[in-house]
Copies of this chain bind each other. A is one copy, B any other.
Amino acid sequence: MAIKEAVRPGGRSARVQEAVHHAVRELQITKSREELSVPQIANKAGVTPSTIYRRWGNLAELLADVSLERLRPDDEPPQTGSLAGDLQAWGEQYLDEMTSLPGQCMLSDIMASAERERRERCYRYSETIMACLRERAVKRGEATPSVEDLMDGVIAPMTYRLLYDLDTATPARLSRWIAQTLPSADSPD
């Protein structure tokens, strides 16, 4: 019955982690990023600040940790019957989520983290989704690009624009990225 996660993930540790994460999420509803502070979060979570500092190091890392947790693939991406459709459907809801204020904060928090590993987790997350959509297409017998090509052709421009030029992170462009990435077949242009 040994849980293999951290060194000692048992009851109290997990409880503290949950309390702190929960406190952050609660506070984020009312307070803006620069109104948040470690002592404040600690107080709300019912722990001492030193606990947070020792576990997370600083506010930035804590926020990144909380943000990353939201990035769990909770539900299966919607099915539309074609790879292009699946990409568009998933991408649109992702864009929608990430262009929102909380979404942008989430991205910021993750990017502000010094831990390279966190950003790599984002990469793996997107990769997993691309692999899933691609797998569906393969099963249907569609001709499909590699996951690599999907990452470069769709995820990269989408993410790039979410980070650097928000105005151009739109569903219309998404269609373009998808069309140019998939083996040309039915796009009239």
A residues near B, CB below 8 A? 33-34, 60, 108, 111-112, 114, 116, 119-120, 122-123, 151-153, 155-157, 159-161, 163-166, 176-177, 180
List the number of copies, as a whole number.
2
Flag if A155 contacts B160 (CB, 8 Å). yes
When distances are taken between beta carbons in the complex, the residues of chain B under 8 Å from A177 are: 152
When distances are taken between beta carbons in the complex, the residues of chain B under 8 Å from A160 are: 151-152, 155-156, 159-160
When distances are taken between beta carbons in the complex, the residues of chain B under 8 Å from A153 are: 180
Q: 19 A–B contact pairs at CB < 8 A? A: A33-B114, A108-B114, A111-B111, A111-B112, A112-B112, A116-B166, A119-B163, A119-B164, A120-B165, A122-B164, A123-B164, A151-B157, A151-B160, A152-B177, A152-B180, A153-B180, A156-B160, A157-B157, A159-B160
Closest chain B residue to A160, Cβ basis: B156
Flag if B152 contacts A157 (CB, 8 Å). yes
Flag if B111 contacts A163 (CB, 8 Å). yes
